[in-house]
């Protein structure tokens, strides 16, 4: 979670003060969440396969 939030803040800095700042922040959060969800799915699948 900390890395996800830090990455989102960093992504938002590209548009700091602009109208796209919140879009960049939210898009980064969504991408990080999507990536983590797939990691968890793969982990769960490997546990089920055992």
Domain regions of the chain by residue span: 2-49
Q: pLDDT tens digit string along 8-42?
A: 999 999 888 888 999 999 999 999 999 999 999 99
Helix, strand, or coil here: 35? Answer: helix
| The pLDDT of residue 15 | 87
Cα–Cα distance, 9 to 26 (Å, whole number) = 10
Q: Does the structure show a pLDDT above 90 at 45?
A: yes
Task: Work out the end-to-end distance of the chain between its first and last CA atoms, rounded to an integer number of angstroms.
Answer: 29
* pTM, 2 dp: 0.80
Which burial class, exposed, middle or buried, applies to 46 when counting CB atoms under 10 A from its CB (0-12, 13-18, 19+)? exposed
Retrieve residue 3's tokens.
């890395």
């Amino acid at each position: 979670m900390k890395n996800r939030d830090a990455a989102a803040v960093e992504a938002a800095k590209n548009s700091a003060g602009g109208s796209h700042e919140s879009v960049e922040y939210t898009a980064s959060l969504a991408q990080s969440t999507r990536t983590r969800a797939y990691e968890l799915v793969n982990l769960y699948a490997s546990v089920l396969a055992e």
